[in-house]
Structure 1
Amino acid sequence: MTDSEIANGDIAELPETAVPIPPIAGIVLAGGRSRRMGTDKASIQWPDESAEPMLARIVRTVSERCDRVYVVAAQESSAYQLLHGTGGPEAVWVTDEEPGAGPLGGLAAGLAAAAADGFGLGFVCATDMPLIGAGLIDELARGATPSTQAVIAHDDRRDHPMAAIYRTSSAQTVADLVAGGERRMLAVVDALETRRVPVSNSEWLTNVNAPEDLHDLRVS
């Protein structure tokens, strides 16, 4: 299948053989308000009270494949207030996302920060994905081509634009969406040259939005 055959509505079937992975920045979006959870998701201990915060777990996993990890969260956010400067795996905090812009604003800020440091690609995920694995980054990276601006995970139900690799050069396009009032993460699927990759393990894409989600994962 050629690049011209992989339109925004198509699903890419990737070869099983491993290919070298170029330098990739990790971008973890952690500025959410966690309304449904009732407490900041980034600081939840995973998998139990003796473990590390969920954000630290995700940063540690992402750093297995990414040369530098950025955590996007405004200084006013719960994640920054509770976790900045408390130790844990190394990460660069990005605090200049537009207030009230949601994850789309965080994506724009994270991509811009990674681009400024010379990265051409950024793997993006949320702080509420405790089962994420380094293999997800490998599978998405194999889908990156020179003409592709976004490689997003896809399962049998939907697209996952918050489990994706983006070209950092698309930061301005995302920022323009935010400036125009857009707040839907799925808007990037239409705005960018996008390739969808079916992932081999759908558990990587599991997120926790409410206490019952967290309970179900802990007892499963």
Structure 2
Amino acid sequence: MAPLYGLVLAGGRSVRMGRDKGAIPWHGREQRYYMADMLAPLCEHVYISCRAEQQDEIDAAYHTLPDSYEGGGPLIAILSAFRARPDVAWLVVACDLPLLDAGTLRYLIANRDAKGIATTFRGPEDGLPEPLVTIWEPAAYAILLQHIANGYKCPRKALIFNEANVRMLDAPDAAKILNANTQADADKVMQLLKGD
């Protein structure tokens, strides 16, 4: 089984939210750091994925992994991680999952299928794979490179097209993997957090 590294996706431009989603202090500190700290006890090493121009604004206490391919987006971030370390599995989490907790990640890790290309959750709303809370195995690297060479930019499609080699799980609590991409989403999350 390949070593497990963590990757917090924080390089998006947050256009729909209107502010940097990685910097929102959902739990008292910036989400990108909160997520990196959550991954730290679960992974051998943890990196915050970012655009090259973001590196200087990220706390030096955290390791960064800037995009090494043009085009941006989560697929580029995942490919950049594999380019840096093609021999490890990457537990990828997006910074726009403010309800995600360590218990949900431990469940994902405990049910990891290292023989496939990925272990992921079914999206609670559409039943499709959730590529941004996924363990991507080393075998996924070549598939993702081919995927982008074929003109696809969505990592979800890579999981769908290769579903025979993907372990799909139902999250123990579907609310934990809800995305907050817009201000309306953020308002809903704040209500849920206040209810905890």
Deviation at 1:59, TM superposition (A): 0.8
Give yes or no for the alignment of 1:186 onto 2:156: yes
Give yes or no for the alignment of 1:137 onto 2:105: yes
Question: Alignment partner of 2:155: what SS?
Answer: coil
Residues 156, 30 of structure 1: CA spacing in aligned structure 2 closer, same or farther, 3 A cutoff?
closer
Q: After the TM superposition, which parts of structure 1 deviate over 4 Å for at least 4 consecutive aligned residues?
A: none
> Counterpart of 2:9?
29
- The CA distance in 1 between the partners of 2:150 and 2:123, in whole Å, is 30
Give yes or no for the alignment of 1:152 onto 2:125: no
Deviation at 1:165, TM superposition (A): 0.8
| CA shift digits 1:130-174 (9 cap, x unpaired) | 221122222222332342111111144322111111112322321
Question: Alignment partner of 1:70: what SS?
Answer: strand
How many residues align? The count is: 188
Q: Which has the higher helix share?
A: 2
Deviation at 1:22, TM superposition (A): 7.3
Q: Are the equivalent residues in 1 in contact too, given 2:16–2:182 (CA < 8 A)?
A: yes
TM-score, structure 1 as length reference: 0.76
Percent identity over the alignment?
A: 23
Residues 146, 164 of structure 1: CA spacing in aligned structure 2 closer, same or farther, 3 A cutoff?
closer
> Counterpart of 2:37?
60
Matches within 5 A, 1:1-220: 23-47=3-27, 51-77=28-54, 80=55, 83-84=57-58, 86-87=59-60, 90-115=61-86, 118-119=87-88, 121-157=89-125, 158=127, 159-189=129-159, 190-191=161-162, 193-220=165-192
- The CA distance in 2 between the partners of 1:146 and 1:23, in whole Å, is 10
Q: RMSD in angstroms over aligned alpha carbons?
A: 2.2
